[in-house]
Structure 1
Amino acid sequence: MEDKKHPLTSEESLQIIAKMIKTAQGNFRDGSFYFIFWGWIAAVASLAQFYLTIFTDFNAPYLVWLIGIPGWIITMLYGYRQSKRETVKTYSDTLIMWTWIGFTFSILVVIFAGRHINYQITPLIMLFVGLCTFISGLIIRFKPLIIGGSSFWIFTPITFYLPMEYSSLIMAIAILFGYLIPAYILKKQN
């Protein structure tokens, strides 16, 4: 390889940046699994919670969210296997990963503070999901994900104005538009 004594030209710099973005997009598109997997977990749990709340007398419908525990185990195992196959880990990959780890800790705070916020957990989760999805879309420059993240912000105020029993139904609809549709588009482009 030839050593260059002169600084990069603007064209060379743009080529390097474009290549980095393409690599990050490729890595992230391979990660459409996470959006599809968690999209379905959250949609099923939201619909199950709505059903149990409205149509049964079960007094703890939020327990359906315990499905997230095996979900996290599967996610960690899948992520571990994927990291062994990845040849290049970009800064964008790391940024997206830490964004979603930050999301997880934020959600845990919201869940454990539920009593202090009158159990208005769903709208806050939707806000955080929207933010992380939006940021992920911006990082990889994938418009459907950016729009998907934004759609959570459209659905969130609705959950504040409807009776709390309907918030899980609104969340399921938001997940369809904000997570699942962009994830399947992402997967199709892979």
Structure 2
Amino acid sequence: MKENLNPDQSLKIIEEMIQNSKTNYRKHHGIYFLFWGYLSIGIVSLFLILKMSVGFPQAHYVWPLFFLGFIFNIYQARKHGKERLVTTKIDRIINKVWLGVSIGMAVFYGASPILGWKMLPITLVVIGIATYAHGAIISFKPFIIGAFVMMFLASVSFYMPNEDVVLGLFVLAVFVGYIIPGHLLRREDV
């Protein structure tokens, strides 16, 4: 049974689809940025605590905790995929951007013994680029601004005299680039 819609009904259906899409981004995309933001700050804080209490070499054992984040990410993505009735082209593009970032970060993680503390500003540049792309794709300025802050703080970090300052700049960059925009995205009035 095919129903003919008048122009007002058609427009209302399109508006509902757009609103559902925005709600989907608020609900699902914001949670990933909040998760990675808080996880990153937690791991860096744990590193600093261990570095001060048990020493430098043992403190490096916290970095593999990021891989637990990937496991959670995969679980959440599958869960959200089942809830979603339709996957849009935008969803597929964003997923591919972040898949590329994940592969790139795995490569850099493998080189971290060579890169040392410079791994942190490199991480900020890579995730900053992806965060910018994500913000541009969904037209969300807080991600775009946060991405520029992340990349600016990354460039400053390369000139810092020690790892502790770089860790502090990393925490600040993640807070501004992930946590603040993540909370704003999940708010209903954005």
Scaled by the length of structure 2, the TM-score of the pair is: 0.82
Distance of 1:23 and 1:128 partners within structure 2 = 30
Question: Which of 21, 26, 35 is the aligned partner of 2:23?
Answer: 26
Tell me if the contact between 2:26 and 2:187 (Cα under 8 Å) persists in the aligned partners. no
Q: 1:53 aligned to 51, 75, 80, which one?
A: 51
Which structure 2 residues correspond to residues 1-190 of structure 1 after superposition, within 5 A? Answer: 24-31=21-28, 32-54=30-52, 56-162=54-160, 163-189=162-188
Is 1:24–1:93's contact at 8 Å kept on the other side of the alignment? no
Deviations 1:107-133 (A, max 9, x none): 111111224435521111000111111
Residue type at the aligned position of 1:91: K
Q: Would the alpha carbon gap of residues 65 and 109 (structure 1) be closer, same or farther in structure 2, given more than 3 Å must change?
A: same
Question: Counterpart amino acid of 1:94?
Answer: R
How many pairs does the alignment contain?
Answer: 179
Q: Contact 1:21 / 1:140 at 8 angstroms: preserved in 2?
A: no
Contact 2:132 2:147 (C-alpha < 8 Å) held by counterparts: yes
The verdict on how the C-alpha distance between 1:55 and 1:21 changes in structure 2, with shifts beyond 3 A counting, is: farther
Contact 2:143-2:181 at 8 Å conserved across structures = yes
Structure 2: gaps of 5 or more residues: 4-13
Partner AA of 2:156 in structure 1 = I
Identity %: 26
Q: Mark the CA change 1:117 to 1:19 in structure 2 (over 3 Å): closer, same or farther.
A: farther
RMSD of equivalent CA atoms: 2.6
Partner Cα separation in structure 1 for residue 150 and residue 84 of structure 2: 31
Distance 1:128 1:96 in 2: 15
* Structure 1: gaps (5+ residues): 3-15
CA 1:51–1:158: 2 relative to 1, 3 Å:
farther
